[in-house]
Amino acid sequence: MAIRYWEYEDAPLKEKLKSPSVREVAKIYFENETKAYRFALALLEVKKKGMLRLKDCDTKTLPIATWKRYLDFGVQVGLLKHENNAYSFTDRYSKPLRNIGVYIKAWMDSQANEDPAVLFANAKAGRQEKRGGKGVEANHEAKAAKENQTPADPQQETSTDTNNKDASIEQNNSQ
């Protein structure tokens, strides 16, 4: 969590409450721009739909596993609840996080139309390429090439074997 407490003291909080943003909410939990973007995307979907099921998540923007990871994080920090296979907002904040809770609640109630792509301009917004697992042809090709490797110079190995045999015959003859 990247809580900068001085930003949530009474005077700065009053300024922030004038225009709450999902960017500020996500930046509380993640310093990394890409992670904050993904978390904000999940929060916006829950806000837009009220209750969000994993099967309703847009797999073109993020894979299902990533949606689940960030929605579960929202549950873990008390921002979301997961009941009946759906995620929705909850209001479970402890006293030390009261001002952050007030800010988040104000953002949830705001009617601002926010675009996470604009708010997190430096985030990697696309899907990541597969790094392994089933269906990756490059891994299969590399494995096949490794299995079919031949010695660099087959004649060199044969001549070395012949030299070793000649040396052992000479040794036996001299005894």
pLDDT digits (tens, 9 = 90+) for 35-53: 999 999 999 999 999 999 9
Query: Sign of dihedral through CA atoms 71, 74, 75, 81?
Result: negative
pLDDT value at 55 more than 60 = yes
What is the C-alpha R_g of the chain? Answer: 30
Per-residue pLDDT at 38: 95
pLDDT value at 93 more than 70 = no
Q: Under 8 Å CB-to-CB from 171, ≥6 apart: which residues?
A: none
Please tell me which residue, 40 or 3, carries the higher pLDDT value: 40
Per-residue pLDDT at 149: 65
Structural domains of the chain, ranges and CATH numbers in brackets = 10-112 (1.10.10)
Q: Under 8 Å CB-to-CB from 5, ≥6 apart: which residues?
A: none
128: tokens are 């990541």
The C-alpha atoms of residue 77 and residue 79 are separated, in whole angstroms, by: 6
pLDDT value at 58 more than 70 = yes
pLDDT value at 152 more than 80 = no
CB 77 within 8 A of CB 163: no
The model's pTM is: 0.54
* Span 134-153, average pLDDT: 62
